[in-house]
Amino acid sequence: METEIIDLIDTALKIGLGALIAGLSTFVIAERKYASERNAMREEDTKNELKYISEKFQESDAGTNEFFGYVNTAIDHGEDDYKKLAENCRKSMDKAFYALGLAISSANLLGKEELFVKLSEYENLITKLDSKVDSFQRGVPDDASEFEEISFKCEPVEKEIYKLLRQAYVKYKA
């Protein structure tokens, strides 16, 4: 009888330990696989968000370039309707600010501090352009020196932003 109890306990321990080992092994393997899938999904989300930032920055840049186009045309060829010029410039700058705001908030959410700083620097530069729009109500400036100065400051910042976007994206590109 005593050997039967010992055999029963021995069998129960073997079965229990076997089940415990199998359960722990399954858990560890599943957790590793799930962690790998989570990382892959996170990387894909980050790549998509970087693409989004790039698209929004490009839209902002296009709005700023449109603004410069209106100003240069008005200076080179004259503009009789200053109110229309101001409206066109305002629309261009509104597009630029809206898209840039989305890019800045996305960079902040991603934790891309350097990109966030450069986008904010670019925003400060185009804010200076935006402040000139109201002056069109009084007429077109005689020369574009103020606008060219801001434009020249924008160019290196734009290049740096594209460089940061490229570096961040390549990091996630297998």
Quote the pLDDT of residue 124. Answer: 94
pLDDT band at 138 (very low <50, low <70, confident <90, very high): low
pLDDT at 45 over 70: yes
Does the predicted TM-score (pTM) go above 0.85? no
Dist. CA 148–CA 143, nearest whole Å: 9
Going from N- to C-terminal start, the domains of the chain cover 46-172
Task: Tell me the pLDDT tens digit for each residue of 66-97.
Answer: 988 887 777 777 666 677 777 888 899 999 99
pLDDT band at 142 (very low <50, low <70, confident <90, very high): low
Task: Tell me the pLDDT tens digit for each residue of 106-130.
Answer: 999 999 999 999 999 999 998 988 8
Q: How far is CA 34 from CA 31, 43, 53, 58, 119, in A?
A: 5, 14, 28, 36, 35
Quote the pLDDT of residue 68. Answer: 83
Provide φ and ψ at 130, rounded to 5°.
Answer: -60, -35
